[in-house]
Homo-oligomer: A and B are copies of this chain.
Amino acid sequence: MPADIPGFVQQIQRLFPRIMRYLEAEASRELIGLEVTPAQMNALVVLYEPKNLPMGELADSLGLTESAATRLVDRLLRMNLVRRDRDEVDRRVVRVRLSTYGRQLADLVFQRRQEQFTRFAERLREEQRSNLVEGLTALLTVFQDLEHESRTANNTFQES
């Protein structure tokens, strides 16, 4: 197992695309029968935890422009999966939250997802599971650091 940097980079470039392709296919599979697209489910997942989110923050969380988020919410609204209300304090902002039906749908998908990931987990040895969790945790930390650094770099640039 080459753990030097060039070897690591080579391995990781081979592994990640395949794993991502599989996980994306899996994400589509878990939506079978529910009349929802992956993009729409992503939005429901982001909206699951908070009571409600301003349009802009929803867009950020999804990595979309605000216009794309507006349109996405338009469709979710037509399907009765979310509610959209103007903020009473700052009437520029529009707040989005899950409808009862939207929450039920998200719950169902979470359940399917959990069953599927459990199936994966059962085929891994305990050591492999902990390697995975520790490795991914470290990687995510790196990503978050880089994101934070580039954001603050941008800000100082704009402020100067």
Chain A residues within 8 Å of B, Cβ to Cβ: 1, 3-6, 8-9, 11-13, 15-25, 45, 63, 113-114, 117-140, 142-143, 145-147
Contacts and interface: CB of A to CB of B under 8 A. Distances in A.
A140 B124 CA distance: 11
A21 B128 CA distance: 23
A125 B142 CA distance: 11
Contact of A23 (B6, B20, B117, B125): B20
Nearest to A133: B11
Chain A at the B interface: SS class = helix
Given A135-B136, A136-B19, A138-B124, A129 B8 contact: yes
A18 B140 contact: yes
A126 B24 CA distance: 29
Contacts of A134: 1, 128, 131, 135
